[in-house]
């Protein structure tokens, strides 16, 4: 997988993949199998992954899924709504942090 195929990739992610290409290949195959395992659309899968990243308070994950969602045609308002609906499940602090990370990504896109 190239950086161009996914957009921005942190250096640590690129380095880990470069140093362990077999693991990277297996990881990519697992991701592909998971995506194909059910009926969810690419859009639905992206929003689910954003929700998971919020619940994990994963700054990199939230930023990545917001960037990728935008590149896949998901509107900023839709991404922010997906974040807002995480409040009852993920809690206000995790959701507020995710909202801030998403706004930073969105502000660089405007």
Asked if 60 and 92 sit in the same domain, the reply is: yes
Containing structural domain, residue 65: 40-110
Domain-located, residue 16? yes
| 68 and 20 within one domain | no
Q: Are residues 31 and 58 in the same domain?
A: no
Of 50, 41, 51, 95, nearest to 69 by C-alpha is 50
- Asked whether residue 20 falls in the same domain as residue 72, the answer is no
Give yes or no: residues 20 and 62 share one domain: no
Whether the predicted pLDDT of 8 surpasses 90: no
Q: How many CB atoms lie within 10 A of CB 47?
A: 21
> At 100, which helix (H) or strand (E)?
helix 92-109
97, part of any domain: yes
> pLDDT at position 7, please?
63
- What tens digit of pLDDT does each residue of 22-81 get? 999 999 999 999 999 999 999 999 999 999 999 999 999 999 999 999 999 999 999 999
Nearest to 86 by CA among 50, 61, 58: 50
In a domain? residue 47: yes
């Amino acid at each position: 997988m190239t950086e161009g195929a996914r957009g921005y990739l942190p250096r640590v992610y690129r380095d880990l993949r470069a140093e362990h290409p077999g693991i990277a290949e297996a990881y990519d195959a697992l991701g592909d199998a998971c995506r194909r395992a059910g009926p969810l659309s690419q859009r639905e899968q992206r929003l689910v992954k954003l929700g998971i990243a919020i619940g994990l308070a994963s700054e990199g994950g939230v930023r990545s899924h917001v960037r990728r969602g935008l590149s896949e045609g998901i509107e900023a308002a839709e991404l922010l709504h997906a974040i807002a609906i995480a409040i009852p499940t993920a809690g206000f602090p995790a959701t507020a942090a995710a909202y801030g990370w998403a706004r930073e990504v969105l502000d660089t896109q405007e």
